[in-house]
Structure 1
Amino acid sequence: MPEMYFQIRWPDGQEESCYSPSLVVGDFLTPGQSYPVADFVHRCDKALSQASERVRQKYGYFCSSAMDQLGRIRERAEPFAAEPDGLVTVQSFKPGAR
């Protein structure tokens, strides 16, 4: 199953590399696009949940790495919840090594 890394920039300027076990993240996020924090978290929830489900369908178990990544995104987003103008920018996608 092809994996994907997506590089993001949080509203405070910090950058982070995030992991998805599937290319499905490209159905929810677009490189160069900025999203309000809550929308970004929602999109990641959908993308990483679908990615984990794809792993389950193929291998018979959910992808704990996808769920760990989603947990880190939710945790990192919490401080920005009160900032209605805060944006997360998706900087790039990078396919993982197979």
Structure 2
Amino acid sequence: MPEMIFDIRWPDDATEACYSPSLVVREHLAVGVAYPLPEFVARCRTALGIASERVEAKYGFPCSRAMAQLARLEARATSFAGTPDPVVHVLAFRE
């Protein structure tokens, strides 16, 4: 199963390399796009959920690493509560 890293920039200009066990992220995010934070989290929730399901279909168990990545994204997103109109920029996809 092809893994990928997607690089993002948070509203505070911090960058992060994020993991996906599948290329499905390409169907839900686009490089160069700035997503409103709630939309970004929702898209990641969908993409990483699908990626984990694909791992489960192939190997018989969900991808704990994808779910851990989602948990980190969701936790980090909460730190921007109260920030007016926070956006997350998708910087790159790496395979």
Q: TM-score band (shorter)? A: over 0.9
CA offsets 1:8-29 (integer angstroms, 9 cap, x no match): 0000000000000000000000
- State the SS of the aligned residue for 1:12: coil
| Whole-Å separation in 1 of the counterparts to 2:84 and 2:12 | 13
What TM-score, normalized by structure 2, do the two folds share? 0.97
1:31 aligned partner:
31
SS at match of 2:30: coil
- Aligned residue for 2:7? 7
Residue aligned with 1:82, SS: coil
Describe the SS at the equivalent of 1:80. Answer: coil
Deviation at 1:85, TM superposition (A): 1.2
Structure 1 segments of 4+ aligned residues over 3 angstroms from their partners: none
Q: Distance between the aligned counterparts of 1:14 and 1:88, measured in 2? A: 10
Shift of residue 79, structure 1, vs aligned partner: 1.5
Runs of 5+ unmatched residues, structure 1: none
TM-score (ref. length: structure 1): 0.94
